[in-house]
Amino acid sequence: MSSQNGRTAPAADTTLGVLDLQGGVCEHLDHLRRLGIDARAVKQPGDFGGLAGLILPGGESTCLARLLKIFGLEELIVARFRQGMKLWGTCAGAILLAGSLTGEAPHLGLIDIEVERNSFGSQLDSFTCEASVPQVSPDPVPLTFIRAPKIVRTGTGVAVLLRIGDFIAAAESSAVLVTVFHPELTPSLAFHRYFARKCGLAPRGEETALDHSWETTSWTRLARIV
């Protein structure tokens, strides 16, 4: 998509993709559409064109890593990333993007952080809380942690966005955002708005704290039988 010989540059990419191999895909698409962002599920190599950014959703990181590898999507994501596509990993997605994983080999390795998987224990240890993340939202942001990993270290070129107790819950580099919680499972659009802007897009609507029309079943609109 690069312009050559001084011809008119192609229109900037305006779409965000959500990697659709397994996990919380509709939830992210629903949030992005609430911001008026052109968003689509991305599954096949042909789907990666024209993306300003890609979200790697929550799911099971071992499953996602395996599917990325066998379908050759790893190289494709890295190649598009090098051409300027921004990335955001939530939960399992953050695990896939991490440069290092405690006690195991990393996957995409596109941000210099160390992540420890399943740091909290079983589903009984999943929890919600609220925190202030000044760079992302003027209001406190609701946070949902489901069998979450922890970011235990950040390296060069990585800024911490949110630290809770002994771990880092959100961080970013110039081109990659990582959150170990799930903004797509809450009524807050703040992180999606933040990522859209990071990708050079202009999300619609007011900077409201919460989208009160959001419900826990909002995702089902993208997964209807009828």
Partner 1 sequence: MKRVDAKRYELNVQLAQMLKGGVIMDVTTVEQAKIAEEAGAVAVMALERVPADIRRDGGVARMSDPSMIAAIKQAVTIPVMAKARIGHFVEAQVLEALKIDYIDESEVLTPADEECHIDKTRFAIPFVCGARNLGEALRRVAEGAAMIRTKGEAGTGNVVEAVRHMRTMNREIRQLAAMPLEEVTGFAKTNGIPYELALRVKELGRLPVVNFAAGGIATPADAALMMQLGCDGIFVGSGVFKSATPALRARAIVKATAFFNDPAKVLEASLGLGEAMHGLEIGSIPKEQLLAGRGW
- The catalytic residues are 91, 182, 184
E strands, 120-196, where?
A: 127-131, 141-145, 150-154, 159-164, 167-172, 176-179
Backbone angles phi, psi at 27, to 5 degrees: -60, -45
Query: Which is it for strands 127-131 and 86-90: parallel, antiparallel or unpaired?
Result: unpaired
Q: How far is the CB of 15 from partner 1 (least distance, A)?
A: 21
Radius of gyration from C-alpha coordinates of the chain: 17
Residue closer to partner 1, measured from CB, 147 or 198: 147
Residue closer to partner 1, measured from CB, 128 or 132: 128
Distance CA 117, CA 103 (A): 9
Residue closer to partner 1, measured from CB, 64 or 133: 64
The interface region with partner 1, picked from 48-56, 76-84, 125-133, 171-179 by CB under 8 A, is 125-133
* Residues near partner 1 (CB under 8 A): 20-27, 43-44, 58-60, 62-63, 66-67, 70-71, 91-92, 117-118, 121-124, 126-128, 144, 146-147, 182, 185, 216-217, 219-221, 223-226
